[in-house]
Amino acid sequence: MAGWVLHVDLDQFIAAVEVLRRPELRGVPVVVGGDGDPTKRGVVSTASYEARAFGVYSGLPLRTAARRCPDAVFLPVDHAAYEAASAGVIATLRRFDAVVEVFGWDEAFLAIRGDDPEAVARQIQDAVRASTGLDCTVGIGRNKLQAKLATGFGKPAGVFRLTGETWFELLGDRSTDALWGIGAKTARRLADLGIRTVRQLAATDPAVLAAHLGPATGPWLVRLASGRVNWPVAATPYVPRSRSRETTFQRDLIDWDAVRHEVAVLAQRVAADVAAERRPAGRVVVKVRYAPFTTQTHGQALPDPSADPAAIADAAAAALDKFAGRRPVRLLGVRAEFVE
DNA sequence: TCTGGGGTCCTAGGACCC
DNA sequence: TCTGGGGTCCTAGGACCC
């Protein structure tokens, strides 16, 4: 008997949920994002495979998506629908003899024991499809990192195994940003050091990287590239460290009284989220994104940890007062941080 | 064609203390 | 009057992820 980690990832989750309740959209380019109006500020949450063929992907501005794929059906984001679909998937996964770690709306890790993880993976796919109508890809590895990256090779609707034996064969020549946790910025910094591939990163002296990228990040990146991490699959319920709300305005705010008012509105929503957690917040941070796109934050500690809406509103107002700039405001955000 | 919303973790610099 | 070195905490910003 051997231990395996399975990474279950729903295929084009949000678009798939929309197609499920509107079968006439099957086979059609579907783009979900913002309030469904591609002439407004907003970005793509998920595009169906048909829309992706036109170069539409998550994070793309809706206006650009509309230009690239004018015939796409644009739909608003419907959080409640996705949460309901997600709950159905998770309930199905929990029927298996496994430690289940939920990872967002559309992903989960399962720790299992046995000699045929592919068979379990196919059972999972069948069960999820039977109970929800949704397709998923399952990555198999000896740890979470291997399983997560295996999923990329299995998309869509496949099963793929990636272990220490095949790690460098499959990933060694890939760019470092193929790894989970390395993005464009870090990849460029590594390239400046002459480190371009996963294989090169794995062979780098951790101490050298620590000097360039920080004492924790440097050695962590080397271990990441080796594929041999020991992150536990944790069944413990998720405990949030913070709650936040933010809004991008369709038209930049010019009047600072309007800014103050919008921060108060956001603080009220955050306070409601904090109250629902039944845990006190210790600090409130206000985010201001000025036009065109420069972002600043300022925080304010609460006099005493509290979930009181008035205390959170006061702290948000005090944090906002720390901003000196009076340029047009594109986005405002309020975040409450819980104490421990 | 300007670039969402909700999160997490790490780093660096300054304050402060001994 | 000028002054070290270390530890810790707080804050703002950066990077990444879904």
- Per-residue model confidence as pLDDT tens digits over A183-239: 999 999 999 999 999 999 999 999 889 988 988 899 999 999 999 999 999 988 889
User: A184: domain CATH number?
Assistant: 1.10.150.20
Give me the pLDDT at residue A340, please: 75
Q: State whether the beta carbon of A70 lies below 7 angstroms from any atom of strand C.
A: no
Q: Say yes or no: A39 and A134 in one domain.
A: no
User: Which residue is nearest nucleotide B1, judged by alpha carbon to C1' distance?
Assistant: A64
pLDDT in tens, A79-103: 999 999 999 999 999 999 999 999 9
Q: For position A263, which CATH number holds?
A: 3.30.1490.100
Q: What is the mean pLDDT of residues A133-141?
A: 97
The domain tally of chain A equals 4
pTM, to two decimals? 0.94
- A206 plus A106 within the same structural domain: no
Last residue of a domain, one of A105, A133, A161: A161
Query: Does at least one atom of strand C sit less than 7 Å from the CB of A241?
Result: no
Q: Kindly report the bases of strand B lying within 7 A of a protein C-beta atom.
A: 1-12
Same domain (yes/no): A33, A85: no
At A50-68, the pLDDT tens digits run 999 999 999 999 999 999 9
Q: What pLDDT, on a 0 to 100 scale, did the predictor assign at position A50?
A: 95
Same domain, A7 and A96: yes
Statement to judge: residues A188 and A206 lie in one domain? yes
| Residue whose entry in the numeric block shows the structure tokens 């998506």 | A65
Cα Dmax for chain A: 66
Same-domain status, A322 and A263: yes
A240 contact to strand B (CB, 7 A limit)? yes
Statement: the CB of A184 is under 7 Å from strand B: no
Any idea which nucleotide's C1' is nearest the CA of A42? Answer: B4
Say what the pLDDT of residue A2 is: 84
Whether residues A132 and A220 share a domain: the answer is no
Catalytically annotated residue among A50, A101, A107, A262: A107
Identify the domain boundary among A49, A79, A109: A79
Are both A72 and A101 inside the same structural domain? Answer: no
Tell me: do A7 and A150 sit in the same domain. Answer: yes
Domain match, A7 and A94 both = yes
CATH code of the domain covering residue A55: 3.40.1170.60
Q: Is A107 a catalytic residue?
A: yes
Identify whether the C-beta of residue A137 lies closer than 8 Å to the C-beta of residue A13: no
- Report chain C positions within 7 A of protein CB atoms: 10-18
A173 shares a domain with A157: no
Does residue A7 sit in the same domain as residue A116? yes
Contact criterion met (CB below 8 Å) for A39 and A63: yes
Domain that holds residue A113: 3-11+80-161
Query: Is residue A1's pLDDT more than 80?
Result: no
